[in-house]
Amino acid sequence: MEYMQEHCIDVYFRYGGRPFHVLTYGTAIPAPLNDVDRNRRIQHQVAVDMDVLKNPAAIHIEQDYVTTILDATRELNREEQFVPDEDTILQIFRPAAELGFFSYDCIRELENGRGLYRLVAYPEGEMEIHPYDNMPNYDGLEVVEWDEERGLIISFRM
């Protein structure tokens, strides 16, 4: 648990048949997803695929959320010299979306180490992705915001 609290971990799983990528920012990883060896294998495979990706998926960026991240970062780092720009922030989420993942950022830590996650980037249209060794299915999400028109989970608790 201490390792999870001190590290930002990329976790990959399927929910409702869709591939998800979440960045934990120190929140707890639910037990069904917390298999260190499996997570490392998937992370490695995703990193390799990102390096050799020839035909990235067309993606959609949730621009309002990215603007919110930038504004909050600027406010927090007012005295600092380095404030990341949009491209720096999207380096984390864009590649996963280009591989076909719905990519989420942890926006708040909740009780018991759980996190509130917000959609940042996703592929436009359905696509077949690499099977990734034993990428788990997980049905333990608590949907907070659903976009009926686009058929997307905008935010969830986990």
| pLDDT per position as a tens digit, 88-116 | 778 889 999 999 999 999 888 888 888 99
> What DSSP line would sit under the chain, residue for residue?
-HHHHHS--EEEEEETTEEEEEE-TTPPPPGGG--HHHHHHHHHHHHHHHHH-SSPPPEEE-HHHHHHHHHHHHHHTTTSS----HHHHHHHHHHHHHTT-EEEEEEEE-GGG-EEEEEEEEESS------TTTPPB----EEEEEETTTTEEEEEE-
Question: How confident is the model at residue 76, as a pLDDT?
Answer: 61
pTM of the entire structure? 0.84
The whole-number average pLDDT for the span 106-131 is 85
pLDDT tens-digit map of 13-64: 999 989 999 998 878 888 999 898 999 999 999 889 888 877 788 899 999 8
